[in-house]
């Protein structure tokens, strides 16, 4: 989340959607050395394949275990004692002890929704979702990606072996879904898996869904960033192992993670400043105290872009899946986000025409934390509509237009102001130009 300040200048000139279609077979580049697999477009409705995935992770069992690599314990939720307890768990991936939280019956749930956080935050950003959405039909999960929250390596040597990048995080999410979520379910072939991501987590949800089609049934994007990473390939001297780079970064890093700076950044992206609680600031700062945090930070901003698909190719692949009507796509965006402005949601809606698009107002870059009641209502209505035998008309009729002073508007993607109109005309012109040149 905090890293959006370093990326938002790229947004105004982002290329329009390309017209090429993605080949049906994608071979992993396997640069990170952690995962080796081939992602294929599988026939929809086939049994999930959880056995072919190989990673430097150790599978978690379907129940609480006591071995040295995997634990899952009950944690009393401090925010709402009446709602009971959540589970907190640790599994091992790529020599990292990775943290997650869940609430709901893993064996009986029909739908598993997995929340992916933005940069600089963690599972704590979704506590309000886990409590509200979990029941006998829905199991809600949140996970910390490597180098964020409570997911850290055991040693400095393990840090050197890992690249904190879109590719590595993509591999981690796939591993988590296959080895933790699906293997916890008694009927993994029948359950539905939905990835819901905010900011960086939204793009990560797109990436996973576009490259691991057999383990995802839908995505919900919460102000998903369309950009992440500056470099096409790794620059040798710009690494977390370079002590000169570490020393050069240290003063900036200390300021970046200071309480004053974190508070300032949050005031930029929260429409309602009263929602910026001290506990949120403390939770953001706490992981930066980890001894490996600065090196993870350097790696995050010096790692290459996603190597397997560009952003436009991700959208094309998701569009093709969505047009089959078996794969579900929805957007739930805070309208007052100054970083991922509504124009980006409009662009995505134009590409994935069947996507359901809600805008919340007033709400900023992190609607899941700032306006949780509205987000929870939208997410639950989508899960009901998609997978829990509730008709579309009844869901749309029961979803209120306003919750706690936050409006919930169903958006069709039509341009509404001069900026959106210019962007729409530009996309239309480029599309026609490309179509005529290929004719």
User: What are the pLDDT digits (tens) for 235-284?
Assistant: 665 666 678 888 999 999 999 999 999 999 999 999 999 999 999 999 99
Percent of the chain whose predicted confidence (pLDDT) is above 90:
59
Measured CA to CA in angstroms, residue 197 lies from 114, 129, 212, 279, 365 at distances of 8, 12, 16, 22, 12
Percent of the chain whose predicted confidence (pLDDT) is above 70:
74
How many residues are given for the chain?
Answer: 439
- CA 332 – CA 375 distance, rounded (Å): 7
Q: Token pair 């962007």 is at which residue?
A: 423
Contacts 24+ apart (CB under 8 A), 351-356: 351/17, 351/315, 351/316, 351/319, 352/315, 352/318, 352/319, 352/322, 353/319, 353/413, 354/322, 354/323, 354/325, 354/329, 355/322, 355/329, 355/330, 355/331, 356/329, 356/330, 356/331, 356/382, 356/410
Query: In order of start, what are the domains of the chain with their CATH numbers?
Result: 4-12+25-438 (3.40.50.1820)
Two structure tokens written together for 169: 């995080």
- Residue 353 has, within 13 A of its CA and on its CB side, a CA count of 3
3-state secondary structure of 164: coil
How much is the pLDDT for 264? 98
Question: How would residue 48 be classed by pLDDT, with cut points 50, 70 and 90?
Answer: low
Two structure tokens written together for 419: 């900026």
Two structure tokens written together for 291: 């001894």
Contact between 176 and 143 under an 8 Å Cβ cutoff? The reply is yes
Highest mean pLDDT among 4-13, 91-100, 160-169, 224-233: 91-100
- CA 141 – CA 125 distance, rounded (Å): 12
How much is the pLDDT for 325? 72
3-state secondary structure of 361: strand
Question: How would residue 96 be classed by pLDDT, with cut points 50, 70 and 90?
Answer: very high
* Mean pLDDT (whole number) for 19-48: 34
If one counts every other C-beta atom within 10 angstroms of the C-beta of residue 346, the result is 24
Question: How would residue 17 be classed by pLDDT, with cut points 50, 70 and 90?
Answer: very low
């Amino acid at each position: 989340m905090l890293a959006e300040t370093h990326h938002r200048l790229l947004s105004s000139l982002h290329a329009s959607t390309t017209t090429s279609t993605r080949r049906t077979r994608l071979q992993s580049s396997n640069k990170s050395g952690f995962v080796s697999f081939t992602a294929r477009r599988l026939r929809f409705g086939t049994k999930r394949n959880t056995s072919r995935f190989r990673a430097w992770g150790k599978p978690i069992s379907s129940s609480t275990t006591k071995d040295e690599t995997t634990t899952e314990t009950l944690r009393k939720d401090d925010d709402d004692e009446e709602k009971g307890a959540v589970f907190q768990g640790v599994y091992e991936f790529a020599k990292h002890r990775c943290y997650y939280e869940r609430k709901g019956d893993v064996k009986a749930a029909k739908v598993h929704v997995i929340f992916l956080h933005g940069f600089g935050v963690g599972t704590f950003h979704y506590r309000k979702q886990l409590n509200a959405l979990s029941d006998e039909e829905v199991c809600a999960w949140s996970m910390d990606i490597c180098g964020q929250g409570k997911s850290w390596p055991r040693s400095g040597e393990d840090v050197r072996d890992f690249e904190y990048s879109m590719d590595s995080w993509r591999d981690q999410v796939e591993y988590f879904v296959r080895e933790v979520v699906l293997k916890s379910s008694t009927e993994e072939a029948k359950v539905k898996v939905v990835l819901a991501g905010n900011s960086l987590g939204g793009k990560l949800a797109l990436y996973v869904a576009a490259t691991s089609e057999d383990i995802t049934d839908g995505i919900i994007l919460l102000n998903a960033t369309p950009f992440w990473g500056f470099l096409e390939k790794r620059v040798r001297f710009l690494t977390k192992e370079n002590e000169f780079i570490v020393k050069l970064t240290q003063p900036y890093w200390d300021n970046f993670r200071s309480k004053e700076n974190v508070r300032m950044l949050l005031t930029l992206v929260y429409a309602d400043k009263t929602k910026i609680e001290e506990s949120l600031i403390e939770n953001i700062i706490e992981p930066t105290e980890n001894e490996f945090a600065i090196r993870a930070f350097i790696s995050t901003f010096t790692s290459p872009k996603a190597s397997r698909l560009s952003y436009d190719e991700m959208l094309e692949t998701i569009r093709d899946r969505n047009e089959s009507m078996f794969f579900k796509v929805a957007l739930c965006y805070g309208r007052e986000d100054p970083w991922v402005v509504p124009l980006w949601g409009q662009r995505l809606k134009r590409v994935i025409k069947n996507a359901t698009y809600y805008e919340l107002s007033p709400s900023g870059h992190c609607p899941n934390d700032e306006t949780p009641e509205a987000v929870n209502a939208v997410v639950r209505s989508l899960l009901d509509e998609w997978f829990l035998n509730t008709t579309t008309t009844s869901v749309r009729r029961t979803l209120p237009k306003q919750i706690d002073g936050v409006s919930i508007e169903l958006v069709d993607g039509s341009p509404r102001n001069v900026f959106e109109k210019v962007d729409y005309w530009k996309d239309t012109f480029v599309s026609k130009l490309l179509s005529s040149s290929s004719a």
